[in-house]
A and B are shown apart, each in its own frame.
Chain A
Amino acid sequence: MTPDSFILVLLGGILALDGTSVGQFMISRPLVAGTLTGWVLGDPVLGLVVGGVIELYFIPVFPVGGAEFPEGGPPTLVGVVAAAGIPGAGGIALGVMVGLLFSRLAALSVHLLRKANSRIVPDPARAQVSSRQVVLAHLGCAGLDFLRGAALAGLGLGLAGWTTSSLQGLWPLSLPITLGLLILGTALPAGAFVRSVGGWRKRGVLFAAGAGGFLIGSILL
């Protein structure tokens, strides 16, 4: 294992912990996870681009109640590693694709972790619970979450290495078309987000003001 791989596996564990178990300081958001991974690999801009696109796909995903949702942290890490393996448009497309697909696998691992946690935590309905039991079970569950993230990152690194070597030079689309498709893809979650916070009737003017103003501004400046 190279030093970079070791750091990335550790980072995967930390990102998984931040997602739910510890702190939720949002280091695990795709935007941050992608950039951090990019730094480790020596290309933070690529990390920001891949993480930023995945972030837009994740905008309407809210961890409401006990809902299960695609995970952002370790999958974005894997996506950026995949993206770094292929230069240009193909790398960005592959990074986003791998990140999104891997987020489903990560969601499955979260589901399994929660099932395992149900067995680990003491059941107050069965017997009196001691403080020692509570502390051990709680920290044990958090430790499992760290291991889950690290394992996901390790698995993802292997997968990313295999994918990039197999798909090197096969992406058929130019950079403008690739970027256009990625932009287009973000429209679906953006629409879903607007709907979940009140819909177009209530928020349409604000959206149009932001889109129009910044589009014109970016073209003029």
Chain B
Amino acid sequence: MKKPSRRACISTFLRSFLIQGSWNRRTMLGSGFGFSILPTLRRVYRDDPEGFEAAVTRHVEHFNAHPYLANLALGATCRMEMDGEPPEEIRRFKLAVRGPLGSLGDSLVWAGWRPATVLMALALGLSGASPGVTVLFFLLAYNVGHLLLRFGGFAVGLERGTQIGDSLRKMSLPLQADRLAGIGVFFLGAVLGLVLGRGSEFGVRVLPWGALLALGLFLGSRLGQGSWRVIYWTVGGLGGVLFLIGWFG
């Protein structure tokens, strides 16, 4: 096993912030993964230029995962390269983890942590906090979790190598994702309640608008992701028609 260089590890970790810089349909995160792991590969293959080029070529192959949890795979791959694991073994490992790291990250961050923190911030803003406090609260709250995931993932991967599955199981991330989604829904309700309540100060009537809101919520949950298309055409169309009415009226 080659001793990991602290400088190479820090450089690889810092580069992981750009892992999606060349996201594309052909190799998805592949090129970004290759870009991020370069400092470690330089260290591992410093006496073997041919091996280095071959390793670079291997690591820009197709890869995809959630951008934050990709650090688990990145750390583990660094460990495998330092341990001198055979290239086929490393390729198989990357193939095996990309699906779970993608779906886990999507439910934990995109459907859990991000909505929860942004809705908390919106609730704070609607409760009277200044724009600066609202935005700062969101950025701090969100990025605490974000940076923990990135750094923790990389550190765990680097330490545990192919055994990251055990660490993931111990963290019970699906359960955390479910809890975060619950918090998000609670604060979504809070935001809509606050919007109605604050709207009443500007003359918005709570009962009729609340009933319409409930109807919209029901329709939205029936339409699911398709509701975005409806919103797009309704807001664009209705807004345009209203301006036209203003033009003629």
Q: Do residues B21 and A57 form an inter-chain contact, with CB atoms below 8 A?
A: no
A153 to B22, CA, bound (A): 21
Which one, A27, A48, A60, A129, contacts B34 given CB within 8 A? A129
B138 at the interface (CB under 8 A from A): yes
Binding-face segment, B5-13, B72-80, B120-128, B155-163: B120-128
A84 to B22, CA, bound (A): 35
* B121 nearest in chain A by CB position: A31
Q: Do residues A55 and B118 form an inter-chain contact, with CB atoms below 8 A?
A: yes
A44 to B213, CA, bound (A): 27
Chain A CB within 10 A, most for which of B53, B200, B214, B243: B243
Q: Do residues B56 and A131 form an inter-chain contact, with CB atoms below 8 A?
A: yes
Tell me how far the C-beta of A124 lies from the nearest C-beta in chain B, rounded to whole angstroms: 5
Which one, A29, A45, A186, A213, contacts B195 given CB within 8 A? A186
Q: A203-B182, A219-B200 are in contact. Are A214 and B193 (CB under 8 A)?
A: yes
Chain B proximity mask over A9-23: 1 for CB below 8 Å, otherwise 0 = 000000000001111
A177-204, CB < 8 A from B: 179-181, 183-200, 203
Q: Do residues A124 and B122 form an inter-chain contact, with CB atoms below 8 A?
A: no
Q: Do residues B134 and A141 form an inter-chain contact, with CB atoms below 8 A?
A: no
Which one, A25, A38, A195, contacts B220 given CB within 8 A? A195
Which one, B64, B189, B200, contacts A210 given CB within 8 A? B189
Q: Is the interface of B mostly helix, strand, loop or mixed?
A: helix
Complex interface: chain A residues within 8 A of B204 (CB): 176, 179-180, 183
Q: A31-B121, A128-B57 are in contact. Are A206 and B185 (CB under 8 A)?
A: yes
B25 at the interface (CB under 8 A from A): yes
B94 at the interface (CB under 8 A from A): no
A29 to B139, CA, bound (A): 10
Q: Do residues B188 and A194 form an inter-chain contact, with CB atoms below 8 A?
A: yes
Chain B CB within 10 A, most for which of A169, A185, A190: A190
Interface size on A, residues (CB 8 A): 106
Q: A21-B18, A55-B118 are in contact. Are A170 and B247 (CB under 8 A)?
A: yes
Which residues of B are in contact with A by a Cβ distance under 8 Å?
17-18, 20-28, 30-32, 34-35, 38, 41-42, 52-54, 56-58, 60-61, 64, 67-68, 102, 106, 110-112, 114-115, 118-119, 121-123, 125-127, 131-132, 134-135, 138-139, 142-143, 146, 178, 181-182, 184-200, 202-206, 209-210, 212-228, 230-232, 234-236, 238-240, 242-243, 245-247, 249
Q: Give me 30 A-to-B residue pairs in the complex whose CB atoms sit less than 8 angstroms apart, sorted by A's number.
A: A24-B20, A24-B68, A26-B138, A26-B146, A44-B131, A93-B239, A122-B31, A123-B27, A124-B30, A130-B53, A131-B53, A142-B21, A142-B22, A167-B246, A170-B247, A171-B243, A174-B203, A183-B199, A184-B213, A186-B192, A187-B213, A188-B231, A190-B216, A193-B115, A203-B182, A207-B188, A211-B189, A217-B193, A218-B197, A219-B206
Which residues of A are in contact with B by a Cβ distance under 8 Å?
20-27, 29, 31-32, 35-36, 38-39, 44-45, 47-48, 52, 55-57, 59-66, 70, 93-94, 96-97, 100-101, 104, 114-115, 117-118, 120-124, 128-131, 134-135, 137-142, 145, 167, 169-176, 179-181, 183-200, 203, 206-219
